[in-house]
Amino acid sequence: MDRRKYLKTLAVTSLGTGVMLQSCGPETKTETQAAAPTFTIDRTKEELVREQKLLADKFFDEHEMKTITVLVDIIIPKDEVSGSATDAGVPQFIEFIAKDMPRYQTQLRGGLKWLDLQSMKQYNTDFASCTAEQQISIVDEIAFPEEAKPEMQAGVAFFNTMRDLTACGFFTSQIGIKDLGYVGNQPNQWDGVPADVLAQYGVAYDQRTLDISVKHDA
């Protein structure tokens, strides 16, 4: 087989497959029977049945989704490099994870409730309805685990989970991978650490390693 030909084929078939997640959000659910989800990755029959059920279900209500949307953009906002968590579809990702991994459900739902109660206590309205300054003021009390007051511990634990889910959802999205500068997942010819990087860290390949390691055709 011509190696170049198959590498090319692989490269082409792996493009244009990044839109699947957009069909995963609860907003695509309609009154009619949801169409079977299509996947660009191998799925067994049993997996397809489960995915279809998960995608058709809805866990968070509208208010909860609104709060999640505010929170994830506080955690990962748009900056000079890339877009925000909501730009990257993080709320929809969190909705899916809550359905896929039920262990998250109580913690997330309860944490959102905790957050609204804090907001009510301090500002007499729910978190999503607070001003941006008020929201940040509440987040400041739960976003720094080593400084947070003991009575805020439940909020800290919730925020740690939200930080993890937001970072995961963001940096595994198309926007996030580009932001991170991950340049793999494509056909390559690994020929060792680049020379400038070896020099930067003061390391080198010994002669034996150079002698025995695979050499690539030009």
Partner 1 sequence: MQDFQIKKNPKAYDVAIVGSGAGGGMAAYVLANAGIKVVLLEAGPLYDPAKNVTQLKWPWESPRRGASSPYRHFGDFDAAYGGWELEGEPYTQKDGTKFDWFRSRMVGGRTNHWGRISLRFGPKDFKHRSIDGLGDDWPIGYEDVAPYYDKVDRLIGVFGSEEKMANEPDGIFLPPPKPRLHELFIKNAGTQLGIPVIPSRLSILTKPLPGNDKRGKCFFCSQCNRGCTVYGDFSSSSVLVKPAIATGNVDIIPNAMVRQVLTNEEGKATGLSFVNKEDMQEYEVSAKIVMLAASACESARLLLNSKSSRNPNGLANGSNIVGKYLHDSTGAGMGGILPKLVGRKRYNEDGVGGMHVYTPWWLDNKKLDFPRGYHIEYYGGMGMPGYGFGSGMQHTNGKYPGRNGEQKKAGGYGASLKDDYRYFYGATFGMSGRGEAIAREDNYCEIDPNVVDKFGIPVLRFHYKWSDYEIKQAKHMKETFEEIIEKAGGVVTWGKSGPENNYGLETPGRIIHEVGTTRMGNDPKKSAVNKFNQAHECDNLFVVDGGPFVSQADKNPTWTILALSMRASEYIIDQLKKQNI
Distance between CA atoms of residues 111 and 154, nearest Å = 8
Closest distance of CB 216 from partner 1, Å: 9
Q: How far is CA 27 from CA 55, 95, 104, in A?
A: 11, 11, 21
Check if the beta carbon of residue 13 is closer than 8 Å to that of residue 77.
no
205 touches partner 1 by CB under 8 A: yes
Q: Which of 28, 34, 51, 134 binds partner 1 (CB under 8 A)?
A: 51
Stretch that binds partner 1, among 14-22, 60-68, 106-114, 116-124 (CB under 8 A): 14-22
Query: Which listed residue (39, 53, 106, 153) binds partner 1 by CB under 8 A?
Result: 39
Q: Tokens for 46?
A: 């049993």
Q: Which stretch binds partner 1 (CB under 8 A): 59-67, 108-116, 123-131, 164-172?
A: 164-172
Q: Which long-range contacts (CB under 8 A, 24 or more apart) does 1-10 make?
A: 7/187, 10/187
Looking at residues 81 to 110 of the shown chain, list those that interact with partner 1 (rule: CB under 8 A): 81, 89, 93, 96-97, 100-101
How far apart CA 104 and CA 109 sit, in angstroms, is 8
Q: How far is the CB of 123 from partner 1 (least distance, A)?
A: 19
Pick 124 or 211: Cβ nearer partner 1: 211
Tokens representing 144 are: 């720094």
Alpha-carbon distance of 167 to 214, in angstroms, equals 37
Q: How far is the CB of 63 from partner 1 (least distance, A)?
A: 21
Contacts of 99 (CB under 8 A, 6+ apart): 54, 57, 59
Applying CB under 8 A, the site for partner 1 has a residue count of: 83
Q: Which of 21, 26, 67, 158 binds partner 1 (CB under 8 A)?
A: 21
Q: Which of 62, 79, 133, 151 binds partner 1 (CB under 8 A)?
A: 79
Q: Which of residues 111-150 bind partner 1 (CB under 8 A)?
A: 139, 143-147
Give the whole-angstrom CA distance, residue 74 versus residue 17: 29
Q: Name residues contacting partner 1, limited to 172-191 (CB under 8 A).
A: 172-174, 176-177, 179-191
User: Which of 150, 181 has the CB closer to partner 1?
Assistant: 181
Q: Which of 28, 52, 54, 58 binds partner 1 (CB under 8 A)?
A: 54
Using an 8 Å Cβ cutoff, are 52 and 29 in contact?
no
In the numeric block, the tokens 């029977």 are attached to 33
In a 13 Å sphere around the CA of 96, the CA atoms on its Cβ side amount to: 19
